[in-house]
Amino acid sequence: MIARLVGSAFAAAMMAACIHPSVAATPEVVQVGSKKFTESVILGEMLAQVIEAAGNPAYHRRELGGTRVLWGALLKGEIDVYPEYTGTLRQEILAAENLGSDAELREALARRGLRMTGSLGFNNTYAIGVSGDLADELALTTISDLRAHPGLVMGFGNEFMNRADGWPGLRAHYRLPQENVRGLDHDLAYRGIASGSLQVIDLYATDAEIAYYGLRSLQDDQGFFPVYDAVLLYRADLETRLPGVVAQLQRLAGRIDAATMAGLNARVKIERHAESAVAAEFLRSRLGLHAVGDVTSVWQRLARHTLEHLLLVAISLSAAILVALPLGILAARRPRLGQSILAAAGVLQTIPSLALFVFMIPLLGIGGPPAVVALFVYSLLPIVRNTHAGLTNIPLAIRESAQALGLPAPSRLRLIELPLSAPTILAGIKTAAVINVGTATLAALIGAGGYGQPILTGIRLDDIGLILEGAVPAAVLALAVQGVFEATERLVVPHGLRLEQTTGC
């Protein structure tokens, strides 16, 4: 019976995955990916609309969490195309190969079954920015000028902090002395510099905020930053599968210069237009395409995110209950094995959730299934531990009374031990459910959607309203789930255990 339940849970998992048409991959739908920053999302929208305008269905998997996620998904064939930068390919993804010219880069990509278009027309390299006032006060014009001011507070995007062509390389190249350097989300850095808590941040050359916040980019006087030409990276097999599509992609090459891109970014980030609308507008005016950007209403988005979130939680939590309950029982029955089971579940719990999501990509790709597996793993420990605790804390007198009656072990478990530990087991399931609802907001980073999607977008666009659009329903869902389990408690926990101890003799 358990096998059947697990089976149907996985069938349901597949259904969850199908919210994203990708996994139902009919070969005609071109899968477009984008990274979780505005420029990438706008370019992703453009790609999808260009393809659709040519009569091919396309699906845009927006704001996936970082270069590695997209690169992995492209290699696995879960996406067909995404916007990338040549600098990122050379310096980060293929850094080990020390690629020089574009020809060498194309060759390295070809060996992996990938191709890239020519430059879209802009070089979005890194830059180092300070506020205009500070630049005037300290007479800062070049990066070398920073050497004279070791006390400056620096805040860099997490990716820039860690990559070889980011802060570590820049510091070595310019021998920069600053110690007060912190890593943070790139989008938060602007707010940091506006509020004065940061003085030096990293920029992208096409960032919309440079003008908005009155920032000045310092000149790369010693030529450290590599070229970051924007290109479209796609699977070579796309040319045989859908030759028309590749021709459409090539149309975008050389059509967007840096000023245009910064303007598009500003339309979204500062003027708050939808990416789809901004992309459509560009395609209509510059390429004369009849592009349509669908704009969804708050309620449509809420309904979709709720469904996605509920499916993620329901499937992962039910599977965790089905696995953790027997494990907890086993742990209580075999104390020595039990120690190992509890230790293993504890170790799984310590894996940072984002890392766990990313580990799943090579195994299960992106989208619903890897998110469900990661959430399942996180839900195990509270249930295993509480089942174990509930069973081992049953008073000896009661356990022995059941034995002395001559009840066989399985009946003892069913009639006596499980009902008596029901309150503790339910408490564990409740904890797991609340953790699950919260952690599921991270699943958006690997393309599984849910309430994390508006939160991600909201952080990116510095839009509190959008953040709340994800955070509030997530909190409400956590409370609702808890309420459901409290109601269940009244059904599952035997009446005799909910009585107050009576006094007297």
Partner 1 sequence: MLELTQVSKRYGSTAALAATDLMVPAGQTTVLIGPSGCGKSTLLRLVAGLVRSDSGSIRVGGTTVTPENLDVVRRRMGYVIQEGGLFPHLTVRRNATLMAEHLKWPAARIEQRLRTLTEMVRLSPELWPRYPLELSGGQRQRVSLMRALMLDPDLLLLDEPLGALDPMIRFELQRELKSIFDRLGKTVVLVTHDIAEAAFFGDRLVLMREGGIVQQGSLRQLAAQPAEPFVERFISAQREPVRLLNEVLG
499 touches partner 1 (CB under 8 A): yes
> Under the criterion CB under 8 A, does residue 426 sit at the interface with partner 1?
no
Dist CA 403 CA 124 (whole Å):
74
Residue 505 β-bridge partners: none
Q: How far apart are CA 329 and CA 124, in angstroms?
A: 57
Which string of DSSP letters, residue by residue, matches 238-249?
A: HHHH-HHHHHHH
Residue 396 CB, shortest distance to partner 1, in Å, is 9
**Please, which residue, 236 or 427, has the CB nearer to partner 1?**
427
Q: Name the residue nearer to partner 1 (CB basis): 405 or 479.
A: 405
Instruction: Indicate which single residue of 168, 411, 464, 487 sits in contact with partner 1 (rule: CB under 8 A).
Output: 411
Q: Which is nearer to partner 1, 47 or 402 (CB)?
A: 402
Q: How far is the CB of 33 from partner 1 (least distance, A)?
A: 54
98 binds partner 1 (CB under 8 A): no
Find tokens 């912190």 and name the residue: 182
Using CA atoms, how far residue 442 sits from 298, 314, 339, 455, in Å, is 20, 16, 30, 9
Beta bridge mates, 115: 234
Position 408 contacts partner 1 (CB under 8 A): yes
Contact indicator for 201, 193 with CB cutoff of 8 Å: yes
Q: Which token pair is 138? A: 């300290």
Helix (H) or strand (E) holding 182: strand 181-184
CB of 446 to partner 1, least distance (A): 44
Q: Are strands 58-64 and 154-157 parallel, antiparallel or unpaired?
A: unpaired
Q: Looking at residues 299 to 338 of the shown chain, list those that interact with partner 1 (rule: CB under 8 A).
A: none
Site string for partner 1, 341-380 (x = CB under 8 A): ----------------------------------------
Residue from the set 96, 363, 404, 491 that interacts with partner 1 by CB under 8 A: 404
**Which is nearer to partner 1, 4 or 495 (by Cβ)?**
495
Interior/surface letters 145-179, b for 16+ CB within 10 angstroms, e for the rest: bbeebeebbbbbbebbbebebbbeebeeebebebe
Examine residue 496 and tell whether it contacts partner 1 (CB under 8 A). Answer: yes
**How far apart, in whole angstroms, are the C-alpha atoms of residue 38 and residue 49?**
16
What's the CA gap between 121 and 229, in Å, rounded? 7
> How many residues does this entry show for the chain?
505
CA of residue 267 relative to chain centroid, distance: 25
Judged by CB under 8 A, the stretch of 55-63, 171-179, 308-316, 394-402 that binds partner 1 is 394-402
Shortest Å distance, C-beta 197 to partner 1? 57
Residue 63: CB minimum distance to partner 1, A:
50
Using rule CB under 8 A, residue 406 touches partner 1: yes
E strand or H helix that includes residue 127: strand 126-131
* Spatial distance between the Cα atoms of 231 and 250, rounded to a whole number of angstroms: 10
CB of 5 to partner 1, least distance (A): 26
Residue ranges of alpha helices (H) inside 175-213 are: 186-195, 209-212
The reply to whether 141 sits near partner 1 by the rule CB under 8 A is no
163 CB-near residues (< 8 Å, 6+ apart): 91, 92
Given candidates 195, 240, 297, 501, which one binds partner 1 under the rule CB under 8 A? 501
Q: How far is the CB of 337 from partner 1 (least distance, A)?
A: 20
Least Å distance between CB 404 and partner 1?
Answer: 4
Nearest to 387 by CA among 416, 409, 420: 420
Part of the chain binding partner 1 (CB under 8 A), chosen from 85-93, 144-152, 180-188, 402-410 = 402-410
Binding residue for partner 1 (CB under 8 A) from 98, 195, 240, 502? 502
Among 6, 419, 427, 488, binds partner 1 (CB under 8 A): 419
In angstroms, give the least distance from the CB of 401 to partner 1. 3
- Of 212, 401, 464, 483, the one binding partner 1 (CB under 8 A) is 401
Size of the site for partner 1 (CB under 8 A): 26
Determine the interface stretch with partner 1 among 87-95, 372-380, 404-412, 459-467 (rule: CB under 8 A).
Answer: 404-412
Q: Which stretch binds partner 1 (CB under 8 A): 48-56, 110-118, 298-306, 392-400?
A: 392-400
* Lookup: tokens for 77: 């064939």
In the 8-state DSSP scheme, what is residue 142? Answer: B
Q: Are 285 and 434 in contact (CB under 8 A)?
A: no
What is the spatial distance between Cα 11 and Cα 19, in angstroms, rounded to a whole number?
13
Can residue 420 be called a binding residue for partner 1 (CB under 8 A)? yes
For residue 413, the minimal CB distance to partner 1 (Å) is: 13
Kindly state whether residue 491 participates in binding partner 1, applying the rule CB under 8 A. no
In the complex with partner 1, which residue's Cβ is closer, 107 or 400? 400
Interface segment toward partner 1; rule CB under 8 A; list 268-276, 370-378, 408-416, 452-460: 408-416
- Binding window for partner 1 (CB under 8 A); candidates: 49-57, 61-69, 115-123, 495-503: 495-503
Within its chain, how far is the Cα of 61 from the centroid?
11
Rounded CA separation 503/487 (Å): 29
Residue from 140, 345, 402, 426 in contact with partner 1 (CB under 8 A): 402
Cβ-in-10-Å burial (0-12, 13-18, 19+) of 370 comes to: buried
Interaction site with partner 1 (CB under 8 A): 397-398, 400-408, 411, 415-416, 419-420, 494-497, 499-502, 504-505
